[in-house]
Amino acid sequence: MKRKDALLLCDKWLPLWTGNHPERLIEVYAEDCFYRDPAKPEGIRGKSGLLQYLRKLLAAFPDWTWEAEDVFPVTGGFALRWKATIPVAGKVIVEREWTSFLWKKARSFGTKSTSIGRRSLRPFGAEERG
């Protein structure tokens, strides 16, 4: 994937994490997706299991926002340095991390790829404001 295509995808995909719309967000993921985050270190396989998880997660954090800070192509996909701004109990938590994405099939957002996987490369750190 080219850098400009990865940025285009992020510009359309990351906003789907805001506003508690899991049915829209899940459309980005392939049926055989694998998703992992700190709350699910064992990961979630498949779109139906991921949708169940996203419904709970997005309901808990409807006002968080996500943005791409940097991307670069890697074999089979791209790496993304993202920034999440998370309002919690009157404070705002800002987290940054590098994550890699693997792609296959022609599907999402007019690109030639659909997410099949995600894995954390390294934590970037977190800062708290508020």
The residue ranges of every structural domain in the chain are 3-129
| Residue 33 predicted with pLDDT over 60 | yes
Average pLDDT score, the chain = 78
Q: Which candidate, 94, 65, 97, 92, places its Cα nearest to that of 81?
A: 97
* pTM of this structure: 0.72
| Residue 51 predicted with pLDDT over 90 | yes
- Decide if 32 contacts 43 (C-beta within 8 A): no
| Residue 68 predicted with pLDDT over 50 | yes
- The percent of residues in the chain predicted with pLDDT above 70, rounded, is 78
In this predicted structure, what is the pLDDT of residue 101? Answer: 72
CATH code at 3-129: 3.10.450.50
Q: DSSP string spanning 34-87?
A: EEEETTEEEEEESHHHHHHHHHHHHHH-TT-EEEEEEEEEETTEEEEEEEEEEE
